[in-house]
């Protein structure tokens, strides 16, 4: 087979190797042109021409005459210098599938970077490249991704943990309410499941959302209230009791809430609507200005704010909208559970 009759395919987007540079030098010495070299090596003609220009140096022959000649070691040296000068390459490289997956999860499905990377590991989703949560944050800061920016992130922590301390402040508007100090240790330590926290998320107008969070699994129940009033909260609990019937007492062993005006009727909240004179649950009230005593509930409210920003007219939300938010939260991978979801933990 001659030098012009070859079946080597032209490769694209691949750097010349050191061995190939020495081959170019040898072929030039036997008189081949850049076109002939490109056909024999399976490279583009312009690639060979640029390499010859890059690695050509001035040399003198035995008669002391200057002559421009290509040297493979000179071309390799220029290549190495440029590689070092361009800096460290992106770890994600050309893994476009991973980049698209991250953009879909953060930009469309509103995941955090940690939830995306954690879910990939938990579900053993395979990509060509593996990166960590910190790398995703760095790439977003450097605008590496085309379709997501820092505006798509739910929150960026500064790494500092807030210090909490218990307060002895008494809620003057709720002196008869059962204090959180009376709550059993098993509930405090989250060892005993089916204990809930409850709060309201307000927006523009009278309507609001009643949010219930199970302390052990972080399962969410969200209901729309016509107004932030006691009778509407009681109605929701009545509906839940009618749905679960005798199982309600085991499903909702206790409810911890703040001292908002909509929760102050402890007797009505605890009284069963199906069994007259009997209790259906036990209510506890957190200390004033101590939202951290209902930490799981506050984190849930923060997640809801991704879909219902402050100032949103909650009255315009449909049952389908609220159900979609609830399902998203219950199927969101949580780092505290090894990136399993609240539904998975609650079912277990």
Residues 199 and 137 in one domain: no
Domain count, the chain: 3
Whether 165 is in a domain gets the answer no
Overall average pLDDT of the 316-340 stretch: 95
In a domain, residue 173? The reply is no
Residues 76 and 197 in one domain: no
Share of the chain above pLDDT 90, in %: 78
Residues 118 and 233 in one domain: no
Considering the domain architecture, whether residues 310 and 189 belong to the same structural domain is answered as yes
Given 45, 60, 85, which residue is the final one in a domain? 85
In a domain, 268, yes or no: yes
Q: Are residues 323 and 189 in the same domain?
A: yes
pLDDT tier, 67 (very low <50, low <70, confident <90, very high otherwise):
confident
- Rounded (5°) CA angle 88-91-94: 110
For the chain, give the mean pLDDT.
Answer: 90
316 shares a domain with 196: yes
Q: Do 23 and 133 lie in a common domain?
A: no
Residue 112 is part of which domain span?
96-152
Last residue of a domain, one of 85, 109, 129: 85
Q: How far apart are the first and last CA of the chain?
A: 70
Which of 136, 152, 168 finishes a domain? Answer: 152
Residue 189 sits in the same domain as residue 335: yes
In the predicted model, what is the mean pLDDT of residues 207-215? 97
Would residue 1 count as lying in a domain?
no
In a domain, residue 174? The reply is: no
102 and 142 co-located in one domain: yes
pTM: 0.74
pLDDT at 4 over 70: no
Question: Could you read off the pLDDT of 150-199 as tens digits, one per residue?
Answer: 998 887 666 566 666 666 677 778 888 999 999 999 999 999 999 999 99
Task: Report phi then psi at 224, rounded to 5.
Answer: -95, 125
Looking at the structure, tell me whether residues 78 and 101 fall in a common domain.
no
The CA distance from 263 to 256, in Å, is: 10
Q: Give the model's pLDDT for residue 1.
A: 44
Q: Is residue 257 part of a domain?
A: yes
335 within a domain of the structure (yes/no): yes
Q: CA-CA distances (angstroms) from residue 123 to 91, 129, 206, 333?
A: 22, 16, 42, 10
User: What local confidence, expressed as pLDDT, does residue 72 receive?
Assistant: 93
Q: Is residue 260 part of a domain?
A: yes
Tell me, yes or no, whether 114 and 243 share the same domain.
Answer: no
Same domain, 81 and 121: no
């Amino acid at each position: 087979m001659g030098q012009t009759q070859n079946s080597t395919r032209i490769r694209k987007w691949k750097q010349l190797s050191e061995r190939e540079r020495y081959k170019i030098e040898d072929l030039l010495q036997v008189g081949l042109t850049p076109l002939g070299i490109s056909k024999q090596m399976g490279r583009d003609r312009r690639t060979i021409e640029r390499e010859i220009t890059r690695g050509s140096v001035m040399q003198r022959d035995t008669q002391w005459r200057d002559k421009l000649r290509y040297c493979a070691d000179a071309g390799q040296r220029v290549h190495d210098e440029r590689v070092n000068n361009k800096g460290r390459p992106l770890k994600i490289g050309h893994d476009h599938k991973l980049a698209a997956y991250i953009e879909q999860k953060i930009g469309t499905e509103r995941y955090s970077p940690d939830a995306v990377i954690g879910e990939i590991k938990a579900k053993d989703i395979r990509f060509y490249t593996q990166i960590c949560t910190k790398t995703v944050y760095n790439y977003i800061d450097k605008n590496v991704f085309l379709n997501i920016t820092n505006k798509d992130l739910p929150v960026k922590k500064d790494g500092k943990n807030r210090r909490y301390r218990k307060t002895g402040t008494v809620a003057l508007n709720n002196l008869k309410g059962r204090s959180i100090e009376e709550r059993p240790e098993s509930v405090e330590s989250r060892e005993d499941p089916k204990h809930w926290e409850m709060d309201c998320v307000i927006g523009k107008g009278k309507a609001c959302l009643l949010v219930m969070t199970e302390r052990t699994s972080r399962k969410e129940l969200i209901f729309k209230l016509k107004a932030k009033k006691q009778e509407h909260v009681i109605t929701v609990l009545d509906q839940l009791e009618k749905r679960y019937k005798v199982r309600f007492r085991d499903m909702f062993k206790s409810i911890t809430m703040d001292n908002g005006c909509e929760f102050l009727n402890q007797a009505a909240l605890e009284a069963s609507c199906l069994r007259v004179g009997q209790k259906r649950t036990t209510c506890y009230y957190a200390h004033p200005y101590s939202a951290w005593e209902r930490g799981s509930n506050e984190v849930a409210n923060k997640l809801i704010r991704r879909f219902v920003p402050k100032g949103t007219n909650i009255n315009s939300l449909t049952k389908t909208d609220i159900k979609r938010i609830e399902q998203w939260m219950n199927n969101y991978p949580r780092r505290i559970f090894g990136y399993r979801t609240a539904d998975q933990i609650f079912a277990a």
